[in-house]
Amino acid sequence: MKIVITGSKGFVGSHLVSSLSEHQIIEWDRKINKDIKNFDLESNVDFVIHLAALTDVRESIKKPQDYWKTNVEYSKKIFDMCKNIPIVYASTSCVREWWLSPYGTTKKVMEEFAHEGHIGLRFTNIYGENAPDFMLTSRIKNGNVEYKTNHIRDFIHISDVLDVIKLFLKIGTLDKNRTYDVGSGKGVRIDELVERNGFDVPYKEGDKCEMMNNTANISDILDVGWSGPKVFI
């Protein structure tokens, strides 16, 4: 298959490119001077996987216009150019309480611009090798945990994320415009996770821009053929 992957040098994208070596991959990423603001569609593309996005909830509060341009305007351009091509795109569990942050808002609006045959995957907290430094699992690994909260988070391993994306490469996008929650389906309290990993740090009230509990309801994605998570934190 001829597959376009945006955000191909990011955390999820780089893992995905490595796992799809049997396919012809067309990469879009600003790290290789192919920013999605200049997105152009080659001929005879079979599938598009749109991962490029700005994803830091706290940063989105400081830079809402940047998040709007990247997550909404550039995504809409890609969706409109690919009306007749199957797309799987990365959304977020933050959409369930989108009003809490500009990040959640931009992802919610982005979903509204998707067309028939475009599938949104509302990922929870993805972790694994080469995860960004700002993610909690990376901070734990690097010994950089300053506080704990009572938030509940659903962590899904990168290998399980790849399995879900590749499921739609196999079965197609079912000629539907819809979204699926994608996570482990199990919530973990942050304070318990931090303590389990040996950190004696003070408790802090969680930021109001963050959901209290993002545990995914994975029943729908299981119904279309995903075998479920294989790795738990």
Mean model confidence pLDDT for the chain: 95
Q: What is the architecture of the domain spanning 2-127+156-183+217-223? A: 3-Layer(aba) Sandwich (3.40)
The pLDDT of 37-55, averaged and rounded, is 96
The pLDDT of 84-102, averaged and rounded, is 97
Question: How far apart are the C-alpha atoms of 12 and 140, rounded to whole Å?
Answer: 19
56-83 pLDDT, tens digit each: 999 999 999 999 999 999 999 999 999 9
Within 13 Å, how many C-alpha atoms sit on residue 8's CB side?
22
Q: Domain spans of the chain?
A: 2-127+156-183+217-223
Greatest mean pLDDT among 123-127, 141-145, 174-178 lies in 123-127
For the record, the structure tokens of 116 come out as: 């028939």
Angle, helix 158-171 to helix 11-19, in steps of 10 degrees: 60
Relative to beta strand 187-189, strand 152-157 is: antiparallel
pLDDT of the residue at 32? 97
Statement: residue 174 has pLDDT above 80: no
For the record, the structure tokens of 32 come out as: 């290789």
Statement: residue 176 has pLDDT above 90: no
